[in-house]
Structure 1
Amino acid sequence: MANGKSEPLKSLKQFNLSSSRLILLGFAVPIVIGAILLALPLSSSSGESIGWINALFTSTSAVCVTGLAVVDTGADFSLFGQIIIMCLIQVGGLGFMTFGVLIAVVLGKKIGLKNRLLIQESTNALSTQGVVRLSLGIFLIALIIEFIGAALLIVRWEEELGLGQAIYYGMFHSVSSFNNAGFSLWSDSLSRYVGDPLVNLVITLLFIIGGLGFTVVLDVWKHRRWNKLSLHSRIVLSTSAFLCLAGFIVIFIIELFNSRTFGSLTWGERIWAGYFQGVVTRTAGFNTIDISAMMTASQFFMIFLMFIGASSGSTGGGIKTNTFAVLLFTLISIIKGKEDVQLLNRRIPQSIILRSIAVMVISVSVVIGATFLLTISEHSLQKDFMEVLFEVTSAFGTVGLSMGLTPELSPFGKGVIILTMYIGRLGPLTLAFALSQRVVKQKYRLPEEKVLIG
């Protein structure tokens, strides 16, 4: 309180919560609430509860915008349950702070500095300046893009499903796509539309835009010229374009030799299938061909793309495209013997390089640790190692693709994937900061001595 004015986003100072820990709590609370609602018999199509562990798994997958599902979203959930999932996806994709800012503005409340710092961290903004405007922009952009996507899908599905169902399906898949969730109301995801140009383009454009990050979208909308964009935006756009193109080319070429996926498709459908699976792998968990039937080389390449994920400040997970770009050019600079890391005619600060390395090391550790645990807990299923690694990477990257392991997971295995999805959505560095004590600046430095590397 200050001068009798209340702040809408309570800092919880009495609990001594850092911004990182408050972000952890901000994602945990909707997960728990969602699990309680999804465990209700009302949420099930059969009138019987799907069970607490399945409800918690689904709620975590929705809030963390992953898309992995232990039960069939369209068949096993009632309309009430599906709407709850859609709401959880929206909250998880845009972030609880975005909704907090919206409520604060509507109520005419003041947002203090501490809460502005929290908004900055939750949205991955570069500074506190304009974070309230950024949050409102995020909400507005999301609504506009989701509305346009839904309208196009409604036009496509009206004749096939009827107007009422087309509106609902259009809204659900638009929200799921833009927020990079990958939940579908069809049991085969979008396989029935493998060669449909409109569905392929609308769905992919939605999750690509969502995966770029809101700061990038706003920067592009504001400046609309490449040389006017920030370094962050240019890195994200160029890296994302490169990875999408590489994904399409690699998967298309490899799967041409696979009769189990491309064998029954026309050349037009093969091109659309290669494009869709090539770009969807980094962010959203939709599929138009059977993932388990793909070539091992394709599956391994998809693991690489899923691990990179989307971009900072977006609705996707992974180590992020900007982290990947910084690490790649750091390696190039080391090989060339350069002291500075240069990217797009700019020098990258040492602190950003160290942060990128930390993200990479923690992320690899999480994936290896979760994979190790699943190889033990799911040993009775006699699953291939690639299937387990694919599942874990998909959970960490909040992608949602699966080779079929998800519905067969043991309760312990579901717990491992739940935790992996949670870490992937928060970001490994945010979690590390939240679990660690407050950083204390050193008052002295120890003598320096070299060690052998490599």
Structure 2
Amino acid sequence: MTTKRQRGFIKRILNFTPTQLISLGFAVMIFVGSILLNLPIASKGGENIGYINALFTATSAVCVTGLVVADTYTQWTTFGQIVILFLIQIGGLGFMTMATLFSLALGRRISLKERILIAESLNQYSLEGMVRLTKQILLGTLLFEGIGAIILSIKFIGDFGVADGIYKGVFHAISAFCNAGFDLMGERVQYSSLTMYTEDTIVNLVIMSLIIIGGLGFAVWDDIYKVKHFRELKLHTKLVLLVTAVLLAAGFIIFFILEINNPKTLQPLTGKGKILAAMFQSVTPRTAGFNTLSLPDLTNASKFMTLIFMFIGGSPGSTAGGIKTATIGVLFFAVLSVIKGSEDINLFKKRLNVEIVLRALAIVVIGLCIVVITTTILTIFEQVTFIEAFFESVSAFGTVGLSLGITPSLSIVSKVAIIITMFLGRVGVLTMALALTIKMHKSNAKYKYPEDKVMVG
């Protein structure tokens, strides 16, 4: 029997806005995960890892980041690794998607409020077909992760044996598709990620494919699946595909040129290895977190380019983080229209609403503010270089997981700062973007101030 206080609490929860419920859902998952990971059974040493470290790992998993305070293989037992894997899967698909699938499995009817939550968590503007889209997300996820797991398992069986090879194949397929970046290669060398497979064609192509597919966004999948010709695609899908292709191609060329003569990265590799490594380095900053090259050994120019790609991230409504490809695409075309002297922002024979541009600008500015604050905290409390602090902050905000090696040695204050940054990077910008949209649509001011001009530039 519930008390009056309990009923009041439940009522307040039910009255939360969709964006508040999305944030609450992620926070609850992180809290539960941190409790499980802090159990002695989760660590190979038989002792708990400490709550802050458990919270850091749970946040990194749910926010599909990949930053770790301890090597995933050497620190966590099979129980701990499976907890991390479930957190990655739930965090990648979104708790509303998982909750909806669970409800459907129990035969429950999906309410209107639940449909609104699904739509907002997937960055959809219409409630039509939300349940169908959720089912397609599950089927698509199982298909892509399943194919990736089979191919990787076959490869890893030769290196680690049958049982361990299959386990590692499944783990890395899910981690790659969800753009998480957690790995179990610490069995050979701690924190080595996929550096032992730098020149392996199969591992590189499978991991890259899973990262790209997971980072495109569920709405893009649905649109591509339904249409037969590129011209029939929605504007959002066209923009995402264009920006993704440009970033991947530009990243490959830039990293290849910058690292070709670096004796610690590309120079010692074969011709095939150079191409694979440059390709992988252009893909992984898109919030994936795996690496086949030693990141501290990259040139400063490559580290800076990696920072830019990490900040941009993947696409809206996907398993990826960052400010998103669509956001940077909108701002690029907005700047292009200013340069051309056009009053309208046109792309693919469509005109963008100025509200979308303002929303994109707000996301970028807020994201930069978060990164600046986190970087400042790290430079104050840690004995690290500016590039190391900046790299760590952008990686956390973009939910990437790449690091220059400072994560395990961070102080408690810095770990808390990174935890908050990961949470804001995965949930905050999405929530803020949705809130901005809602406020713009609800704005019904009865008067407007007179126009005036300000000199800029």
Q: Are the aligned partners of 1:31 and 1:63 in contact in 2 as well (CA < 8 Å)?
A: yes
1:220-239 aligned at under 5 Å gives the runs: 220-239=224-243
Q: Are the aligned partners of 1:317 and 1:427 in contact in 2 as well (CA < 8 Å)?
A: no
Name the residue aligned to 1:3: none
1:252-331 aligned at under 5 Å gives the runs: 252-331=256-335
Across the two proteins, how many residue pairs are aligned to each other? Answer: 442
Name the residue aligned to 2:113: 114
- Provide the secondary structure at the position in 2 that maps to 1:87: helix
Once the two structures are overlaid, the 10-residue window that deviates more, 245-254 or 81-90, is 245-254
- The one-letter code matched in structure 2 to 1:31 is I
Q: 1:428 offset after TM fit, Å?
A: 1.8
Name the residue aligned to 1:388: 389
Name the residue aligned to 2:98: 99
Q: 1:429 offset after TM fit, Å?
A: 5.1
- The one-letter code matched in structure 2 to 1:392 is S
Name the residue aligned to 2:410: 409
- The one-letter code matched in structure 2 to 1:304 is I
**TM-score normalized with structure 1 length:** 0.94
Q: 1:433 offset after TM fit, Å?
A: 6.3
Once the two structures are overlaid, the 10-residue window that deviates more, 441-450 or 353-362, is 441-450
For residues 436 and 14 of structure 2, the distance between their equivalents in structure 1, rounded to whole angstroms, comes to 15
Name the residue aligned to 1:428: 429
Q: 1:344 offset after TM fit, Å?
A: 1.5
Name the residue aligned to 2:339: 335
Name the residue aligned to 2:189: none
For residues 178 and 65 of structure 1, the distance between their equivalents in structure 2, rounded to whole angstroms, comes to 10
- Provide the secondary structure at the position in 2 that maps to 1:328: helix
Which of 194, 197, 200 is the equivalent residue of 1:193?
197
For residues 442 and 406 of structure 1, the distance between their equivalents in structure 2, rounded to whole angstroms, comes to 48
For residues 296 and 373 of structure 2, the distance between their equivalents in structure 1, rounded to whole angstroms, comes to 23
Give unpaired runs (5+ residues) of structure 1. Answer: 1-10
- The one-letter code matched in structure 2 to 1:397 is G
- Provide the secondary structure at the position in 2 that maps to 1:347: strand
For residues 318 and 12 of structure 1, the distance between their equivalents in structure 2, rounded to whole angstroms, comes to 34
Q: Are the aligned partners of 1:24 and 1:434 in contact in 2 as well (CA < 8 Å)?
A: no
Name the residue aligned to 1:145: 144
- The one-letter code matched in structure 1 to 2:169 is G
* CA deviation vs aligned residue, 1:349-399 (integer Å, no higher than 9, x gap): 111111111111111111111111111111xx2x11111111100111111
Q: Are the aligned partners of 1:190 and 1:288 in contact in 2 as well (CA < 8 Å)?
A: yes
Name the residue aligned to 1:45: 44
1:16-35 aligned at under 5 Å gives the runs: 16-35=15-34
**Inter-CA distance 291–18: structure 2 relative to 1 (3 Å threshold):** same
* CA deviation vs aligned residue, 1:229-270 (integer Å, no higher than 9, x gap): 111111111110110111111011111121111233222211
* CA deviation vs aligned residue, 1:121-157 (integer Å, no higher than 9, x gap): 1011121111111111111111111011000011112
- The one-letter code matched in structure 2 to 1:74 is Y
- 1:132 matched to 2:131? The reply is yes
For residues 446 and 238 of structure 2, the distance between their equivalents in structure 1, rounded to whole angstroms, comes to 38
- 1:452 matched to 2:455? The reply is yes
Once the two structures are overlaid, the 10-residue window that deviates more, 206-215 or 256-265, is 256-265
For residues 94 and 378 of structure 2, the distance between their equivalents in structure 1, rounded to whole angstroms, comes to 29
Name the residue aligned to 1:76: 75
For residues 377 and 14 of structure 1, the distance between their equivalents in structure 2, rounded to whole angstroms, comes to 37
- The RMSD of aligned alpha carbons is 1.9
1:360-379 aligned at under 5 Å gives the runs: 360-378=364-382
Q: 1:162 offset after TM fit, Å?
A: 1.4
For residues 231 and 110 of structure 1, the distance between their equivalents in structure 2, rounded to whole angstroms, comes to 32
1:234-245 aligned at under 5 Å gives the runs: 234-245=238-249
- 1:441 matched to 2:440? The reply is no
